[in-house]
Amino acid sequence: MAYSNWGAFVFCNGERRKDKEDVGVFDTDEASLPAGGRIFANILKNMENQNTDLSARSHHAVLGDKEIRLCGYKNWPELWRFRDGKAEQIDMDQFIAIRKNEYENDYEGEIDGFKFSAEQYEGNMIDLWLTEPDGTEWKSTCGMSYGAGYMD
């Protein structure tokens, strides 16, 4: 079973990328573990190392292999940049395209040549898209009772 019934499937150019499911934003140490145990291993590792960096925390979906990553955690998106040797989270509120209600938004934007969008729906689901400057296309769906470790 996935962590707390939340999960995701991640695809790059149409191919499933299991190594980008339930891993840290820029840290894939747990990628070789079974899907249901990755998040718990990540929590234990971060507790042992006293690491409070939010980018080290497992995310259900991590889209991208370069310096910009679009992530899904439960049913919301997070945008991250790795610059000058450290990870920084970018405020998604500047990219809201449509505010449906207080729990669901659509996001769309471009940063450093990376195009992305995110659509929240049904109160507990989110679809994510990221296109890297070289044309590499990423897609993911995250949500409750969905994804790696839950459905496979």
Convert the pLDDT of each residue in 15-34 to its tens digit.
Answer: 999 999 988 878 777 667 66
3 has a pLDDT exceeding 60: no
pLDDT digits (tens, 9 = 90+) for 54-107: 666 778 899 999 999 999 988 999 999 999 989 899 999 999 998 888 888 999
For residue 70, which phi and psi values (nearest 5 degrees)? -105, 125
- Are 27 and 43 within 8 A, CB to CB? no
Structure token digits, residue 56 = 């080290």
For the whole model, what pTM was predicted?
0.87
4's torsion region: left (phi>0), alpha (psi -120 to 50) or beta?
left
Residue 55 three-state SS: helix
35 has a pLDDT exceeding 80: no
39's torsion region: left (phi>0), alpha (psi -120 to 50) or beta?
alpha
Pairing label, strands 114-121, 105-111: antiparallel
* H helix count then E strand count, the chain: 1, 12
